[in-house]
A and B are shown apart, each in its own frame.
Chain A
Amino acid sequence: MSAAPTSETKPAPPPVETLTVKVDDRRVTVPKLSPDHTGKLVPTTMIQACFAAGTMVPHYCYHPKLPVAGNCRMCLVEFGTPALGPDRKPILNPDGTPKITKSPRPAIACATPISPGMEIYCSTPSVKQMREGVLESLLINHPLDCPICDQAGECKLQEYSVDYGQSASRFVEAKVHKPKRIDLGPRIVFDAERCILCTRCIRFTRDVAGDDALGIVNRGSYNTISTFPGQPFDNNYTLNTVDLCPVGALTSKDFRFQMRVWFLKETKSLCTSCATGCNVTVGSRENRVYRYEPRENEAVNGPWMCDAGRLHYKWINREDRLKEVRVRGEKSTWTAALQEIAGKLKSAPKGSVAIVASARQTNEELFLLKKLATRLEAITDSVPRLGRKDALLLDADKNPNTNGARLNGMCFTEVGINLSKIAAGIESGQIKTLLVFGENLLQHGVRADELAAAEITSETVQKHGLTAELLSRLETLIVSDILPGPTTLLAHYLLPGCAHVEKRGTFTNTKGRVQKFMKAIEPPGDARPEWEFLLELVQSVAGREDLRTLEGLFNRMAREVPAFQGLTWAGLGDTGTTVEI
């Protein structure tokens, strides 16, 4: 205060006003105001104070990223506040502590703001009794379908019934039966009997997805979730309601009856369907991917992800995946093919090689390709993919790692401007060798401004001059891809690559966040992670590098590429680090 602040110093952030409350005899200091689902600061509630104190409060309708509804009553707790005397001063106990008057009634923790000196009791006998009562009431009409319910294993009603419920049911009357297997939309099936009416799905689609599609109809025991008559629930975020649903009322048509959730191995990974880079958890069993689920990352996707991205995994399990190394159509081995390729590249005159990298490749692979390109003085570029974007998560750029390709110097700010140059180079006979990674060069997509508004395909490629006729003029065409296509058919050397769930690596998203993904399943056949064979190729073409592991490769890239300066594989963590782009 005494030193005059210079104009350069930033004003100090205003001190956060805090409150101290007691949760089950544990003192915890929390901010007076906390952000709600829109980020606006609102008074901190008791449930937030309890979570800050590490006390679990069971809840169904409360979700930190949704508006508070307070309708399930599961989070009922008892509380007390300091008693005030007639002079509005706290009455003190003989030992000097403030006297607490316990509220005669319980309160729902999710919607009651805290006040200074408040004491919250989460484990008193009456709280336990209230939880039992709420669960008993919820189970009255719940059908106990668990053996045929997809939610079993990740069902909050199951979990809380075990943790807080009664051991046996007292209900002898007939349950109210409601319709089952209601088709709510193209991706959602609704089971009205199982619904506990927490309205999470309604609030999500209204307040987060911005599509007021769902509502509650009918009265009393006949309450049920419904869409407007004739209007399907089909926005691009519907499958989030399946995650949000605490019971098995909303189930995904795609995952329905596919596999019980307790068998799924969960691997931290990323969604590759656009440049947003939503964090996902891959559920796989016995080398098959069953589902993607969003993984919370405040800096990228919050707890959500879009339906298009979530269903963008099926190609991984496809039967026609490339599984063999092929040299001019004949089955070959990695050693033989890589030796031949290295020989050709070594003897290629400078400037006669072009590399078309893919912005679906990882940072490490693009770094290795750049090393190769520098050595061969090759012209490089990548293929842009553009599509529809929206206000929530979907990005117009459908490549997961365009920024990685830019930062590694494989393409310019405008992706794809070198493609016509490469085409001209092949035409003039200057370029004789072409390396293509994961891209189908013969696909001529539409331009961004020609896109239909409804189109959300990730296969849209901008126009360029490369044709099959041009590619057949090449002396050597080296293609690495995952799925067969017109370009792989023309390849002289075909190297089968891996889907991102079959290898490890990092992507740089549209905001410059470098995030890593882990390996969930084994690649099919002879397919190998691209970084592995690229490393071998770089070592035999450009000289030995003392690198073996992906961690080492990433750390080397972080040292050599200025944009990634200071990053380490271990330092990335599960949620990544943002770099300057």
Chain B
Amino acid sequence: MVERVIRRIRPIRRITQQMIVERKKLSLWERLYLPAVIGGFKVTLRLFFRKKVTLQYPEQRWMVPDGYRGAPYLVKDQEGNTKCVSCQLCEFICPPKAIKIIPPGPAAQLADRPNAEKMPLEFEINMLRCIFCGYCQEVCPEEAIFLLKDWSHVGTHRAEMVYHKEKLLALGGTHRGLQKWKHKLEEAGNQENFPVKP
């Protein structure tokens, strides 16, 4: 019995012996200790006279570079209309499932933007779940959601970190872009001949 246990343990012991790293003997210079202290002081002095890299947050704020992926917000067009048509592609693509859209349903009122029949009844982004990957911006066919430069998100409880449609629209501001639904309406308006009169 005991022999059998030993036979099992022996190869394990062999492996552990191989894993032990021998400690190198220190040279005299290393054992003197002071050269290392002086070396450390040199680094301190060099950095002491350099330009400061720290910011006095929150009085000073970090200016993020272009292309920085901050929080995703909804934007309005130049006429102040909601651009989102609640196609739910961002909800579909969102890897952490941070986006939740409630579509308008058949009974809800039409969009505030002429000619587009749909607008989200509710649009929620859970900023605690969001990983700022930018897929929502990339997938949006309406240029309605953008990752802006906001990087500081604070709230006193979880529910506050779920941003609702009004908040997202207020934070997102205006995006001057192609007004495709408006152009469609104008194009249709120029075609006076429908339906064809007998």
Interface residues of A (CB under 8 A from B): 143, 146-148, 152, 174-181, 218-219, 222, 224, 253-260, 262-263
Report the Cα distance A256→B103, complex, angstroms: 10
In the complex, whether B87 has a CB less than 8 A from a CB of chain A is yes
B87 in contact with A147 (CB, 8 Å): yes
A148 and chain B: residue at smallest CB distance: B118
In the complex, whether B88 has a CB less than 8 A from a CB of chain A is yes
| Supplied contacts A257-B104, A263-B91, 9 more A-B pairs, CB within 8 Å | A148-B118, A177-B184, A179-B194, A180-B117, A218-B196, A222-B193, A222-B195, A260-B87, A260-B103
Q: Which 7 A-B pairs have the closest CB atoms?
A: A177-B188, A147-B87, A256-B106, A148-B118, A260-B88, A147-B141, A148-B85
A-B contact pairs, 26 of them (CB 8 A): A147-B89, A147-B118, A148-B85, A148-B116, A148-B118, A174-B190, A174-B191, A177-B184, A177-B191, A179-B194, A179-B195, A218-B195, A218-B196, A222-B193, A224-B195, A254-B106, A256-B106, A257-B86, A257-B104, A258-B103, A259-B103, A260-B88, A260-B92, A260-B103, A262-B92, A263-B91
A222 with B141, Cβ < 8 A, contacts A174-B187, A177-B188 known: no
Picked from A143, A175, A257, A259, the residue with its CB within 8 Å of the CB of B118 is: A257
In the complex, whether B105 has a CB less than 8 A from a CB of chain A is yes
Report the Cα distance A254→B187, complex, angstroms: 30
B104 and chain A: residue at smallest CB distance: A257
A257 with B196, Cβ < 8 A, contacts A148-B118, A177-B188 known: no
The interface residues of chain B lying within 8 Å CB-to-CB of A258 are 103, 105-106
A175 with B187, Cβ < 8 A, contacts A222-B194, A260-B92 known: yes
In the complex, whether B108 has a CB less than 8 A from a CB of chain A is yes
Q: Which of B87, B141, B194 has the most CB of A within 10 A?
A: B194
A257 with B105, Cβ < 8 A, contacts A148-B116, A177-B191 known: yes
Produce 1/0 per residue, B79-94, CB < 8 A to A.
0000001111101100
A253 with B106, Cβ < 8 A, contacts A147-B85, A263-B92 known: yes
Report the Cα distance A504→B188, complex, angstroms: 51
Interface residues of B (CB under 8 A from A): 85-89, 91-92, 103-106, 108, 116-118, 141-142, 184, 187-188, 190-191, 193-196
Picked from A178, A262, A263, the residue with its CB within 8 Å of the CB of B194 is: A178
B117 in contact with A148 (CB, 8 Å): yes
Report the Cα distance A154→B172, complex, angstroms: 32
B106 in contact with A257 (CB, 8 Å): yes
A143 with B142, Cβ < 8 A, contacts A148-B117, A179-B195, A257-B104 known: no
Report the Cα distance A218→B195, complex, angstroms: 8
B115 and chain A: residue at smallest CB distance: A180
Report the Cα distance A94→B186, complex, angstroms: 66
A263 in contact with B106 (CB, 8 Å): no
Q: Closest approach, in angstroms, between the C-beta of A37 and any C-beta of chain B?
A: 31
Report the Cα distance A185→B117, complex, angstroms: 19
Report the Cα distance A543→B141, complex, angstroms: 63
The interface residues of chain B lying within 8 Å CB-to-CB of A254 are 106
The interface residues of chain A lying within 8 Å CB-to-CB of B88 are 260, 263
Report the Cα distance A175→B196, complex, angstroms: 16
Report the Cα distance A297→B184, complex, angstroms: 43
Q: Closest approach, in angstroms, between the C-beta of A233 and any C-beta of chain B?
A: 17
Picked from B106, B116, B141, B193, the residue with its CB within 8 Å of the CB of A146 is: B141
Q: Closest approach, in angstroms, between the C-beta of B89 and any C-beta of chain A?
A: 8
Q: Closest approach, in angstroms, between the C-beta of B84 and any C-beta of chain A?
A: 9
Q: Which of A146, A148, A174 has the most CB of B within 10 A?
A: A148
B195 in contact with A143 (CB, 8 Å): no
B190 and chain A: residue at smallest CB distance: A174
Report the Cα distance A185→B88, complex, angstroms: 28
A257 in contact with B195 (CB, 8 Å): no
The interface residues of chain B lying within 8 Å CB-to-CB of A222 are 193-196
The interface residues of chain B lying within 8 Å CB-to-CB of A175 are 187
Q: Closest approach, in angstroms, between the C-beta of A161 and any C-beta of chain B?
A: 15
The interface residues of chain A lying within 8 Å CB-to-CB of B108 are 257
